[in-house]
Amino acid sequence: MHPFSLQLPLLPSWRRFRSLFGGRADLSVLRTLEYELLGQIRLSGRILDFGGGSHANYRDRMREWTDGCVYETANIDPAIKPTYLITPGQPLPISGNAFDIVITLNTLEHIYQIEGVLRELLRVLKPEGKFVATVPFLFRIHGHPDDFLRGTPSWWGATLGRIGFSEIVITPLLWGPMSTGLSVAGIPGPLKRMRMHAALLLDMIYARRSCSGDGLYYGGDVGESLCNAPLGFMIAAKKRGPTEAA
């Protein structure tokens, strides 16, 4: 089995609550946590956003994160206006070792022949180039145009390691059990925003009272249990260099 590291997520806090959920942006908890982590990653060089495009709903945020970079996109949907319009099952129309970073956000779950696509993303990365992906886990089925995959950290670690990635780090995307449960259910009923905020605040109280550790990250038995049931994962890895053993 190829190794990977599990990065514990931050405990919920009042400061993070105000920063992430205090505005009027109508984002899911999963998207909000993804964007929080993505904003902490240093992006540079030539970047491929696999699943993005100039009309993607997160384009403004990506513009902030990729300021000063060469930013290109690949998508099967012409309406998204990607740099490269691609065809499912076909190789990417991109030369090998072309990109410093490949990013893919909430896209890989929609791909049936996933290993072939991962190999293509590996191919277009430069040696030791970065791979960053966000994927859902405990999240309702959403076809775009279809939905196939909910991989565990062990599955992602084994698959990415086997095809040529190394230094694989997987972070559960988690605020707490109340907000996770409400998100999985799709927040049925009235007063959605108010009820979600109440769940987020209850998660803060629960985490502080139940999780042992350093007070910054989820830890202890409760933290381990919650990290096994997150809304999604962020996956970071690098393309194995020519001198690294497989």
Which pLDDT tens digit goes with each residue over 47-105?
999 999 999 989 988 999 999 999 999 999 999 999 999 999 899 999 999 999 999 99
* Pair 232, 173: CB distance under 8 Å: yes
Q: What are the strands, taking DSSP E only, across 31-174?
A: 46-50, 70-75, 84-85, 99-105, 125-136, 165-173
Whole-model pTM: value is 0.94
Using pLDDT thresholds of 50, 70 and 90, give the confidence band for residue 22.
confident
User: What are 225's two structure tokens?
Assistant: 């249990």
Using pLDDT thresholds of 50, 70 and 90, give the confidence band for residue 220.
confident
Q: Between 215 and 196, where is the model more confident?
A: 196
Q: Compute the mean pLDDT over every residue in the chain, rounded to the nearest whole number.
A: 92
* Mean pLDDT calculated for residue range 144-155: 93
Q: Which CATH class is domain 5-239?
A: alpha beta
